[in-house]
Structure 1
């Protein structure tokens, strides 16, 4: 059946003249505490018609406040039937009850129940926020109501800046914001001085004269006597009731309001409320931000360091050549036998004739002393061929590399690495100068471009290159090779070329007395290792992000506990479950989003500072997006439980919270 704004059938609402506005039949209410059941209301029968001014009077503990909570749909009865305009409200959902409170009722509480962090005007506007009234319209209506009640100059004051009488008038203005066709006033003069109390009662009588239905709860007989109908309640039972006393004149208008709420407007208003709450608890919000900031910054900085280290190693290996096969002497997985006399120069030439081989280069190493003038330098020797610079893709910075002709004629020429050249000559030009290599004069014909350190820390520039023939004859006295470096032309066929080299050497040597290392495979292995380390770093950093998320949840739980009464006020003025859920969830999301944004800046800044000290750093968009997304998700996940707890509080329990 289609329901109007109050949740009752439209046909029923049109028959209001023949139907009580509120009708209670056999209402009971008991409170359960463990195994103890305390009955408060015992079979209340009551009918209230539109436009009546009803006072329910009774001593403390008589059940009158419990009855008011049931009348205002803040609480549900334990038994009996409650009909609003003929419709049983027992079948109403939480949101339908909220809509009934929002559109039909206005509450005036003894303790005012104003939201401490909001101004008088913002307090008055609360019901209109949940009915979807546009901001400009509700601002104007709130100002009009405050002006009518003599508070025109107090709209921007907060509750603690107002007197008790002024706070109660703000409460009345709030009750009238959405029309307030039924005003429920619970001890409205109980906390006021006599003058303020008289003013409030004058207002209520004026509202009654204007057609509002007034239900006044009081313990003071003199206050109750101002109503047209006085109902006495004692020990949870009505002991005196003169019966309905509808006012003369036309039936009050109960045309339902048009619900103008929308999902977008709800989110916008929830965001405003959340920002106001965060601003009111700024220091706590900053502390909550801190956990997210540290988590996000750690993730970004750690991943930047990990990616930087990975890229540095990859660059170093790539600089050595990724299209290379390195053939070393010695059988795989064997020890205790001579592994130095297995590769010779003839193997190099045979390998060079294989297809897809760009260059086959012999390498023979030794530790040598190089002297120029009075300067000695202990360095490494590499006796190799003219194709070395082709295989290694290593250019000459000045001069030339030795040639095949120099090899053929056993020329005593040398090419220096940058470290060796700097140690011997400083800033002077070494080209054409003679150096002593193990006391044998060699002419310097070139200097190599700087290469840097290997992944294992060896300085590749601390070296001297000489022709293999010269080095073998005059410096090392050996014809066997340390290794053979093979450069392949097509890297996609490097595995096939490796197999061909292996078969060739097996055929030549008659046994597997060599090992072949594929640099492309080495690069893949190192890359996988670095990826694992990067993931490890990221995981460690992500733990701090999770800890930050737990901090968000803890702070939001504290916030819900501290603001339980505010939640009750919002529910009493018509907030739906989703409104409360959105408000607290958006608070958590705002904290996480702002913390994530600051964390991104802090992480990038930290990485820049670390890079300034020489640590390799690599920035990429993925860690930034990942960290910020995780921060946002953290707010969503860890903020949901506190938000859900707030949204499912019982209004009457929330209002009773201290």
Structure 2
């Protein structure tokens, strides 16, 4: 009796500021000792509930000092106050404040979650408490499956879960029938006799009469207090269990809580997931299409040879103008004498009508040299290519592509046959292998190759070349070779009336361009992922608003700021992770379907990891604000939320 358990000195509480300020408690001085059974009486609005909130560290006084076991409560931060509520206080509320989605056993076990007990330990202890209170057959029942009296018993069991040295009961019989009220008061009296300090808030004198000390409060002031009651020295309470606790255990419990919260509203969770799923699937699909297109274009260009230089007539920066032709066969012969030259291939051509029997076709006619096959890496399917001897003798021989074969020789062997090209007979001596469409959609197989000498003399009537293709031996020296060719032709022509294209540089440029296009597609798709993230934040904010009272209950039972932060942040992460996984599956499935329809796609691990990581980061970023809002709520405000 010599050391007060609770001592209040000049406690006042004011809400609002200035003219709107309302004083609820005014200069409260109160001393309570361990083992007392105290009733604080007063009419509605007298300030008794506010006093209870301050006593239970759910609220802070505007002025004055509050000492608990000799320690000034004002010196404690949010988490230290949470530990105090967890280890010292047990709350019994008029409206029970049970978590609707949890069983009676799980509701009782909530304070032990924040005390660090393992799940088996807290489940066992909760079952023992409920059994002691006569609810052994109601462990799995949810609050809506219990009567008012049973719910209040669950609330009492929860208050005792971590020991409940000080029991704060706010109108515990207010929502009960008379019989249930008598049973609850009998339990509180029993707790007081067993050593708990019980502080009862009530407006009912009959209920207050059961306490050993009745304190009356009116208009925020204590108007009657007989002083500490003469009570026997309380027997020591059993030491409450404390677990070691760990971050891993906290995270596992937070994940379990998140899954439980999501399962309680599956439709809303599914809609939240949908935004993430669409966003992730879009990113994967778009990047797969972009990468596939990039590879197809680069491969198509590379198939022509990355070691090639293309020389075309026309001054630089005047591409497309063909007023003069400046390249001749002598230029080709001069280029052959330069170092690092593997082959030099002239080309001259245009369109012409090719006839066989009663069939006509108009392919491209390409007059070239015997080195064409080697320089362009384009093998024959059958027969042979013409030779240098054929070039020198102006031979009327032709090598045809697969599309020409299909058009003129649908049911015949073309080799050895004669075709008419612009009134000249040419013998087919070879058939090229299939090349397919180019990156620009042109049919590369719709072509007839003839010696450039024959083509210039018999078909086109000119000696100027359309272009000269140069194949180099060592690609690493291709830039030096390009410079040598440029100097040679300037010297021969007396000026720069030609253009040289470096296929290696073109491939690099095209690759960089298509890569940019791919990332553009990915960025566009990422917008949908961003929208999905905003949806996650919106839903989580709604969830925080709907579950404000739950947050208050968890804070009242000992949840730290980090526990609330973890709970809601992990909910957002669980939504994003599930949405990310489903989005990955959907994106891969859509990509597979597109490939079946012939659309170029390219699978790689990077876009999948990127999309999933973005989804996870989206949950982290957009879940932070709602989680932080929840963690910063004032416990007493959260508990009073409707």
Question: Shared topology, TM-score over 0.5?
Answer: yes
User: Residue 154 of structure 1 corresponds to which residue in structure 2?
Assistant: 138
Tell me if 1:47 matches 2:28: no
Aligned mates of 1:522, 1:427 — CA distance in 2: 41
Aligned mates of 1:552, 1:205 — CA distance in 2: 48
User: Residue 208 of structure 1 corresponds to which residue in structure 2?
Assistant: 192
User: Residue 298 of structure 1 corresponds to which residue in structure 2?
Assistant: 282
Tell me if 1:186 matches 2:194: no
Q: Is the 8 A contact 1:345 1:480 kept in 2?
A: yes
1:259 positional shift: 5.6
Q: Is the 8 A contact 1:370 1:435 kept in 2?
A: yes
- Runs of 4+ with >6 A deviation: 335-338
User: Residue 331 of structure 1 corresponds to which residue in structure 2?
Assistant: 315
Tell me if 1:625 matches 2:609: yes
Tell me if 1:103 matches 2:87: yes
User: Residue 349 of structure 1 corresponds to which residue in structure 2?
Assistant: 333
User: Residue 217 of structure 1 corresponds to which residue in structure 2?
Assistant: 201
Aligned mates of 1:523, 1:335 — CA distance in 2: 19
Tell me if 1:396 matches 2:377: no
Q: Is the 8 A contact 1:329 1:339 kept in 2?
A: no
User: Residue 568 of structure 2 corresponds to which residue in structure 1?
Assistant: 584
Q: Is the 8 A contact 1:51 1:252 kept in 2?
A: no
Tell me if 1:134 matches 2:131: no
C-alpha change, 1:427 and 1:173, in structure 2 (3 Å) is farther
- SS in structure 2 opposite 1:570? helix
Unaligned stretches of 5+ residues in structure 2: none
- SS in structure 1 opposite 2:97? coil
Aligned mates of 1:608, 1:137 — CA distance in 2: 49
Aligned mates of 1:531, 1:333 — CA distance in 2: 26
C-alpha change, 1:246 and 1:481, in structure 2 (3 Å) is farther
User: Residue 271 of structure 1 corresponds to which residue in structure 2?
Assistant: 255
1:428 positional shift: 3.5
Q: Is the 8 A contact 2:117 2:242 kept in 1?
A: no
| 1:177-200 Cα distance to aligned partner (Å, 9 max, x none) | 111111111000000000100110
| 1:73-95 Cα distance to aligned partner (Å, 9 max, x none) | 00001111100100001010000
| 1:91-135 Cα distance to aligned partner (Å, 9 max, x none) | 100000000000011100000000111111110000000000111
Aligned mates of 1:76, 1:151 — CA distance in 2: 36
User: Residue 62 of structure 2 corresponds to which residue in structure 1?
Assistant: 78
Aligned mates of 1:608, 1:35 — CA distance in 2: 69
- SS in structure 2 opposite 1:62? coil
C-alpha change, 1:559 and 1:296, in structure 2 (3 Å) is same
Q: In the alignment, which of 10, 15, 25 is matched to residue 31 of structure 1?
A: 15
Aligned mates of 2:218, 2:350 — CA distance in 1: 110
Name which of structure 1's ranges 344-353 and 573-582 shifts more when overlaid on structure 2.
Answer: 344-353
Tell me if 1:87 matches 2:64: no
1:507 positional shift: 1.5
Root mean square deviation, CA, Å: 1.6
Aligned mates of 2:214, 2:322 — CA distance in 1: 116
User: Residue 452 of structure 1 corresponds to which residue in structure 2?
Assistant: 436
Q: Is the 8 A contact 1:340 1:482 kept in 2?
A: no
- SS in structure 1 opposite 2:346? strand
- SS in structure 2 opposite 1:320? coil
Q: In the alignment, which of 132, 137, 153 is matched to residue 169 of structure 1?
A: 153
| 1:403-423 Cα distance to aligned partner (Å, 9 max, x none) | 222223222211111111111
Q: Is the 8 A contact 2:35 2:234 kept in 1?
A: no
User: Residue 214 of structure 2 corresponds to which residue in structure 1?
Assistant: 230
- SS in structure 1 opposite 2:444? coil
Unaligned stretches of 5+ residues in structure 1: 1-16
Q: Is the 8 A contact 1:98 1:576 kept in 2?
A: yes
1:242 positional shift: 1.6
Tell me if 1:61 matches 2:45: yes
1:336 positional shift: 11
Q: Is the 8 A contact 2:215 2:222 kept in 1?
A: yes
User: Residue 107 of structure 2 corresponds to which residue in structure 1?
Assistant: 123
Q: In the alignment, which of 553, 557, 582 is matched to residue 569 of structure 1?
A: 553
- SS in structure 1 opposite 2:532? helix
Where do residues 259-658 of structure 1 align in structure 2 (5 Å cutoff)?
260-334=244-318, 339-658=323-642
1:621 positional shift: 1.4
- SS in structure 1 opposite 2:486? helix
User: Residue 243 of structure 1 corresponds to which residue in structure 2?
Assistant: 227
Q: Is the 8 A contact 2:37 2:213 kept in 1?
A: yes
Name which of structure 1's ranges 64-73 and 264-273 shifts more when overlaid on structure 2.
Answer: 264-273
